[in-house]
Amino acid sequence: MGRRCLLRIFTSAQYLLRQGLAFRRCDETEGNFRRLLLLRSEDVPELKNWLSKWIDFTSWKIQNEMLDMFSHDILRRICVEIRKEGPFSIIVDGTQDITGFEQESICIRYVDSKLEPVEVFMGLYSMDSTTGEALARMIEDVLLRFNLSISNLRGQTYDGAANMAGSYTGCQAIISRMQPLALYVHCGAHCVNLVAQSAAAECTDIMSAMTWLQERGTFFGSSIKFRQLFAQVAVTDAEGPWSAIKPLCPTRWLMRTPAINSGVKQYRAVVESLEAAKIEQKDTRAASLVETCQKGSTLLLLQMALSVFGPLELLNTSLQSSSASVDQMLEAVETVKKDILSSRTDESLHHLFEATAHSAAELDLEPVVLPRQRKPPKRYTGPAAAHQHTSAEEYYRAKYFSFLDAAVQQLDDRFSREKTGLHKYCKLQSILHTGVVDHDVIACYPEMNAASTSLEIELRMFRHQNKYSSAAEAIQIMRNLQPGVQDLFPVHETSAGKSSFECNCRAQL
């Protein structure tokens, strides 16, 4: 009887864990765990008698022990799978818990037997120090506890902070000295966020417009009467669905794109609700915000911000795919760069300027005019005459082109193959694409170097029988082969899956 009751207790805990439900409430006897056991006791009479005992193995200590047992069993199964597949990569990111203590999240990325990339969360680990040496020791200790050999580590991904990415004492440098094949790759999604931040910092006028957007969100979020006022105006004026105003995200710059887009589409409702707050509520903050939003230049600058933030947001979403490879990532970056550069023309600027002027007229805003220009000091210009813009479009042309150039330059710097360590991954994929084996690269990887001669034969056979232009296509072809045919390409399968696919570790921050 005791065995059957204990089994029901474990399976009830397993159900709550699987569904992500809380175990207890303020009153423990009314918690999900207790009520579920009572419900199940209707079908298991001996369980009802068991729960009436003084010691029934349902206390919070027993619950925590069961959680640990489930957790350890899952981790053991994951580690067995990782060890079976061989090479893997590690993804680490730090954060603080609600009490302010530092903790590091660890994920492992590997490729399974079906050549599918898998990312698994391995847990959170408390840290007393966040120096590069302390982080490296923590990673080494975690791998040791999981019985994962550092000799199979093929990639490491962190953010760009000095303690993580430092060239000499950073965590990645220390790990690289232990295992040179564990190439460091800065998180792609985080890089795109930094691109947006750097590009916006290049144009102070765009930063000012976004500051106004933030203050507007804070204003409407500070009082329910202001939110209700905006909702009434938005429902009346909106031709389609409207959305509530929210402040900008302070850290994730690309999370600001929906807020900017919503602000542009609901500009009329924003202006009218701010004017109503100014007149009816006599709010001084509303008066200051109205003065800024009534300028057509504010709307123009927000439109300029969208021309870069929009494509970067799509790139950010693309880079967070767990199935993307190195060449797909770089191709997506090149596509976004081309799109941004296509907007760097006088014709695009003129179209944007005319569209803003038309919207400003419809919204009864002040037209976009040439701001007052101050002459720079002689020590900057010398005897030469200072350049003076002759029109508003010419003035904003310099701002717009500088903004676009900064975004493109940042994409070049942060996703350069030579600067980021991606060149070795690209060389591996080049072997797969061209069929020409680079022995200098292959020699670094023991899983392929031992059979480099066989790899050349397999590549020739595979390329002769199949047509492909990327690693993803080659992997898909490999998946569709019959098992007996797949056995003809054991080393090639390693090259396609483990080296060019799984070694591309990119954190999902």
Look at residue 500 and tell me whether its pLDDT is greater than 60.
no
Give the range among 312-321, 403-412, 418-427, 468-477 with minimum mean pLDDT: 418-427
Three-state DSSP state, 96: strand
pLDDT single digits (tens) 78-101: 999 998 878 899 999 888 878 888
Sheet holding 153-158, edge to edge: 117-126, 102-111, 88-96, 153-158, 183-186
Which is more confident, 145 or 416?
145
Q: Which amino acid is at 286?
A: A
Look at residue 66 and tell me whether its pLDDT is greater than 60.
yes
Task: Tell me which DSSP letter residue 375 carries.
Answer: P
Q: Which amino acid is at 471?
A: A
pLDDT at 238: 55
pLDDT at 18: 87
- What global pTM score does this model have? 0.77
Summarize the confidence of residues 163-191 as an average pLDDT. 88
Look at residue 446 and tell me whether its pLDDT is greater than 70.
yes
Summarize the confidence of residues 399-414 as an average pLDDT. 91
Can you point out the beta strands (E) in 200-277?
none
Q: In this prediction, what percent of the chain has a pLDDT beyond 70?
A: 88
pLDDT single digits (tens) 287-339: 888 888 888 899 999 999 999 999 999 998 888 876 667 777 888 899 999 99
The angle formed by the CA atoms of residues 20, 24 and 30, to the nearest 5 degrees, is: 120
What is 81-186's CATH number? 3.30.420
pLDDT at 505: 32
Contacts of 413 (CB under 8 A, 6+ apart): 419
pLDDT at 237: 64
pLDDT at 312: 92
Residue 282 gets the label, from left (phi > 0), alpha (psi -120 to 50) or beta, of: left
pLDDT at 499: 41
Q: In this prediction, what percent of the chain has a pLDDT beyond 90?
A: 18
pLDDT single digits (tens) 8-55: 888 888 898 888 888 877 666 678 888 888 888 888 888 887 888 767
Average pLDDT, the chain: 82
Look at residue 430 and tell me whether its pLDDT is greater than 70.
yes
Three-state DSSP state, 384: coil
pLDDT single digits (tens) 226-273: 888 888 887 776 555 667 777 788 788 888 888 888 888 888 888 888
Is-contact 192 399, C-beta < 8 A? no
Summarize the confidence of residues 361-383 as an average pLDDT. 80
Tokens of 442: 């292959």
Residue 497 pLDDT grade (very low, low, confident, very high; cuts 50, 70, 90)? very low
pLDDT at 322: 67
pLDDT at 31: 81
pLDDT at 509: 29
Domain segments of the chain: what residues?
2-58, 81-186, 193-370+392-414, 420-502
